[in-house]
Amino acid sequence: MKEKKSAKANLETRRGLFIEIGLIVVLALVYMAFELKSYEKISALQFERTDVLVEEEMVEITQQEKIELPPPPPQETLTLVEVEDDVVVEDIIIDAEATVTTVIETWEPPKVVEEEIVEDEIFVIVESPPDYPGGDEARLNFLRNNIKYPQMAREAGIQGTVYVNFTVEKDGSITQVKIARGIGGGCDEEAVRVTKMMPKWKAGKQRGKEVRVSFNMPIKFTLQD
């Protein structure tokens, strides 16, 4: 038996339309599915309740001490004392007029008193030390020409340096000759003898004035071969 189909009943002609409708429905369902998940996620984030424990810090309550301020100083009061008017005051004469014959005293500034130097003081260090006339070379020549080597020291083979201490006075004379360190054998006595023979020195000065100065002089005794 042969089937009879009309053109309206034939669905093959509408196949493309049904495919498009199906795609549209599927896309709509997929879109709705994505929208639904996103909404649920946002809602969950917005309305999710979280409990956070906050520890309260205990602050110790301290009691403030009251500081007592010192009392204010008493106010000074001015007391007026009445003085009688019958006090006799001597007349004061003031001469404010000057003539050609008036003598006016000139004002002089006060003099600065310098520290006085004690006459008997003996200085060890001064601004200008004493000096032998002619210098050190002349002093050494004087010692060489006048010292005689003691016979006792020659026989005993004694040699060395004798230190003589003496004072150069303000006039340059030599006083208070003594041995500071000797070697014996008669050399000490010979050094003192020759020192006392020296001529006057150039006196030492302190602040421009001649003063007494203590001086140490070495004298060397050497045996010749």
Read off the CATH number of the domain in which 166 is found. 3.30.1150
Report pLDDT for 4. Answer: 53
Residue 104 lies in a domain: no
In a domain, 84, yes or no: no
Q: Is residue 196 part of a domain?
A: yes
Residue 137 placed within a domain: yes
Q: What is the pLDDT of residue 29?
A: 85
| Residue 56 covered by a domain | no
Give the domain extent around 136: 122-221
As for how many domains the chain has, the answer is 1
Considering the entire predicted model, what is its pTM? 0.48
Per-residue pLDDT at 125: 92
Residue 213 above 50 pLDDT?
Answer: yes
Domain assignment of residue 173, yes or no: yes
The pLDDT-based confidence of 103 (bands split at 50, 70, 90) is low
Q: What is the pLDDT of residues 149-177, one digit of tens each?
A: 999 999 999 999 999 999 999 999 999 99
Domain assignment present for 63:
no
Instruction: Please determine, for residue 210, whether its predicted confidence score (pLDDT) is greater than 80.
Output: yes
| Residue 202 located in a structural domain | yes
- Assign 3-class secondary structure to the chain: CCCCCCCCCCHHHHHHHHHHHHHHHHHHHHHHHHHHHHHHHHHHHHHCCCCCCCCCCCCCCCCCCCCCCCCCCCCCCCCCCCCCCCCCCCCCCCCCCCCCCCCCCCCCCCCCCCCCCCCCCEECCCCECCECCCCHHHHHHHHHHHCCCCHHHHHHCCCEEEEEEEEECCCCCEEEEEEEECCCCCHHHHHHHHHHHCCCCECEEECCEEEEEEEEEEEEECCCC
